[in-house]
Amino acid sequence: MSKHQQVLITGGQGQLATDLVQVFNSSDTVALSHQQLDITQQSDVEAALRHYKPDVVINAAAFTDVDKCEAHPVQARLVNSLGPENLVAAAHKIGARVLQVSTDYVFDGMLERPYIETDDTNPQSIYGQTKLQGEQAMRDCDL
């Protein structure tokens, strides 16, 4: 990544986003919390991307509590599946690239070696299913 690219990180109060902000350590990086950007709201996502004009969007926002995802599957799908779709659609409009963060929950845990991104997926939970749907939305786009 070149020095002067604008980076927008979603899920700004989470551990991953906090670590990413430290890694980038730049005034060209902005991390937005859920309160600042609800990725389930397409109009909010479009407005934020138009305002910040990022070159790169890193989606660190997720509904990560596996048990709560099972209890609240609609909310899990909104955040983990629809949210990434909203981000990629808005990013496409401004020519930004999007990085979607994955999880080992998209796999079934049956391999006796570490998984690689080209392994077959087989999520066993709502969390894994919704994260995989978000990843598929990213793969299906042209960014």
Question: Annotated catalytic sites, by residue?
Answer: 127
Which spans in the chain are helix H? Answer: 15-24, 42-52, 66-71, 73-77, 83-94, 126-139
**Among candidates 85, 73, 7, 9, which has minimal Cα distance to 40?**
85
- Cβ-contact 17, 8 below 8 angstroms: no
